[in-house]
Amino acid sequence: MEGSIGLLGGTFDRLHDGHRALILGTSLECDHLQIHVTSDSMIANKGPLIQDIDTRLKQIQDMLIEESINASLHVLQDKYGPAVSLEKCSVIGCTEETLSSCEEINEIRESDGLSPLRIVKIDHTLDEGGQILSSSRIRSGIVDQNGKFWLRNSETTLDYSMPKILDEELKQPMGKLFPGPSEDPSIAMNLALKSISDELKIIAVGDVTVYSLQIEKREAWISVIDGMTHRKKWDKFEHIDMDEKLLINAKNPPGMLTSNIFEACSKAISQSENVTIFVDGEEDLVPIPLILMAPLGTILLYGQPNEGLIVREIDISAKRRARRFLDSFIVRDSS
């Protein structure tokens, strides 16, 4: 294989352990690996959640340095790239899904008088649930880039209480603050909505937040309310628009996350229609399970007392923070 060049192509969104195995496995079959990453224009119709080309290239470059892989990065502008015409290459890497494309490449090469490439098929990496680890599974919010569940089913059957040590940290804004007076929440809401694309789903937590969103004629995918604001009953609660058919009731005492609220969040996340979770108790901690369950790119809206409105896109960082919080909670004895 002296001087041999290998080829690899793909989108490489949310670089994960499956990508790493593919890159490493193919690099072992050649002296130099050319990695061709699909351009932004090629994936324009796949939705807004795929990372841009600069981000995807940087993630791969960091991995190449970390693993000391002899490789170069290129931007792929069409389906086959240089694979059909490059003479000085001998290997091409793929998975089961892209095997047929490699076979098509070899057919084109042979019809043009070029030698076919040796196809190296790398086995899929499976996630914690035994399914193929993929960028779409990561974007759906189910698993992280190592294939680990953000939230295991067994964890949702437990009751948790918040430790005092988290009290101050949980009070800190976990997103961008849009300021506004508490007596007129529409000011902060108007500012916040200008920053949120119409394509993105919204999770709104808190009665004032949900009501203000409805006043602005913007729909929330999931609304979480408890009939209270500042720990007191809110007189405008009855004006919140709720569809009884799409209402999920849950019990969740202050300072706790119950199995009942986990069940309600899971049911809400599974709905394509807009739903409301009504909490008998307190909804302050409900963002934690919702962040762990929600797809990447979902927008979380909640009020910051006496300051305004917090907007946070649910990304990997938000999920890691929510996971750290839940890991710190105390599991209650169900007996």
Are 209 and 311 part of one and the same domain?
A: yes
How does pLDDT run across 177-233, given as a tens digit for each residue?
Answer: 999 998 899 999 999 999 999 889 999 999 899 999 999 999 999 999 988 775 666
Is residue 24 a part of any domain in this protein? yes
The per-residue pLDDT for 2 is 53
Q: Which residues of the chain have pLDDT under 70?
A: 1-2, 230-239, 334-335
Domain end (from 101, 117, 139) = 139
CATH number at residue 13: 3.40.50.620
Are 44 and 162 part of one and the same domain?
A: no
How many domains are there within the chain? Answer: 2
Are 64 and 180 part of one and the same domain?
A: no
How does pLDDT run across 12-39, given as a tens digit for each residue?
Answer: 999 999 999 999 999 999 999 999 999 9
Are 15 and 133 part of one and the same domain?
A: yes
Contacts of 14 (CB under 8 A, 6+ apart): 51, 135, 138, 139, 145, 316
Whole domain around residue 109: which residue ranges? 5-139
Are 283 and 321 part of one and the same domain?
A: yes
Are 93 and 187 part of one and the same domain?
A: no
Cα–Cα dist 271/223, whole Å? 12
Are 205 and 297 part of one and the same domain?
A: yes
Half-sphere exposure of 313 (CA within 13 A, CB side): 12
Are 303 and 167 part of one and the same domain?
A: yes
* Cα 67 to chain centroid, rounded: 26
